[in-house]
Amino acid sequence: MHSQVPCDTKFYTTPCVGVNGSTGVLDGCVGRGGYPDRVTTSLLPSVPTSADGPGARGVFVSFEGGDGAGKSTQARLLADWVRGLGREVVLTREPGGTELGRTLRDAVLHGDHVDARTEALLYATDRAHHVASLVRPALARGALVVTDRYLDSSVAYQGSGRDLGADEVERLNLWATGGLLPHATILLDVDPDVGRTRLTGQPDRLERAGDDFHRRTRAAFLARAAADPARWLVLDGTASPDELARAVRARLAPVLGVGAA
Ligand code: TYD
C-alpha cells in the first residue's frame, strides 16, 4: 500500500508524497530545499539540499510539547515498538543528541544568563550539527529517526515564548537544517500547571521562565499544529501512557507501512 504524507510547511510549494509502501518507508518528504523568494530575501541565504534525493529514505518523527508533557516516555515507547518490528530506529533528542550538543545543552539550560537571540542560536547550532551528523545519515540508511523535540520547539519557545518572532526563528532553523522537516510531529499538550507538577530536580533556565512564557509557548504549539494537520497529531498529554502510545502507533502505522499494534 502506498502512503501519502504531505509534510509541507507554508514555505514549500512542492507536494510531498511518500512512496515505497512495500518496504514501509517513505522518501521525498525530507530535506527539500526549495525556498520561495520571500525566504531568500531575508538575511539567511539559500538552503543547502545535500541530503535530498533518493538517498533520504527513512522516516523522521518528532515529539513536541511543554516541559513535563511526557514526550520522552512516548518517544521511547514508539522506538521500542518499531525496533520490535525489526526496523532500525535512532532515538535522539534536542538539545543534546550529539557530543557537541551535550555541551551546548549544558550551556543553554544550566549556564549563565544569555539573551534571547543567543539562546535561539545555541538551539539552532545544536540542531544544525544534530541533523548533519546524526539525523540525515540515519535517514539515508532508511532508519526511523525519533527525536524528543525538534525545530518546532524553537519556533514555540524562542519565537513565541521569548518573543523573537515565529517566522524569523523558523527561517533561522530551516536554514540551519537545510530545510529538514519531520514526516510527522506528535504534540503532547498539557497545561503548564500540570507539566510543572511532573518535573523533578532543580528547574533549568527554561523551566524557570515563568507562567506567561509557558502559556505563550503552549499556544504557539497548538496554533502551529492547527495550521498543518497533515504533519501534526495533537494528543491530550494527561491521557495514560498506554492510551497515548496506542494513538501514536495508529497515526504512524500508515507512515511506516505497517499495521497498528
Ligand atoms: P527537554 O530536554 O525536552 O526538557 P523536558 O524534558 O523538561 O521537556 O528540553 C529542554 C528545554 O529546552 C525545554 O525547557 C525546552 C527547551 N527548548 C527550547 O527552548 N528550544 C528548543 O529549540 C529546544 C529543542 C528546547
pLDDT tens per residue, range 163-218? 999 999 999 999 999 999 999 999 999 998 888 888 788 888 877 878 899 999 99
d(CA 226, CA 253): 21
pTM (predicted TM-score): 0.82
Atom of ligand 1 nearest to the CA of 207: 14
Query: Residue 157 above 70 pLDDT?
Result: yes
pLDDT of residue 226: 98
Q: Is the CB of 221 under 6 A from ligand 1?
A: no
pLDDT of residue 149: 98
Arithmetic mean of pLDDT over the chain: 82
Domains of the chain: 58-253 (3.40.50.300)
Nearest to 123 by CA among 90, 145, 156, 91: 156
Tell me how far apart the terminal alpha carbons of the chain are, to the nearest angstrom.
17
Residue 9 binned pLDDT confidence (cut-offs 50, 70, 90):
very low
CA 172 vs CA 37, 97, 105, 187, 225: distances in Å: 15, 19, 18, 22, 19
Rounded distance from Cα 65 to ligand 1 centre (Å): 9
Q: Is the CB of 94 under 6 A from ligand 1?
A: yes
Q: Are 152 and 38 in contact (CB under 8 A)?
A: no
Q: Is the CB of 148 under 6 A from ligand 1?
A: yes
Q: Is the CB of 74 under 6 A from ligand 1?
A: no
pLDDT of residue 200: 80
**Mean pLDDT to the nearest integer, 78-106:** 97
Ligand 1 site-directed mutation target among 64, 67, 185, most atoms within 8 Å of CB: 67
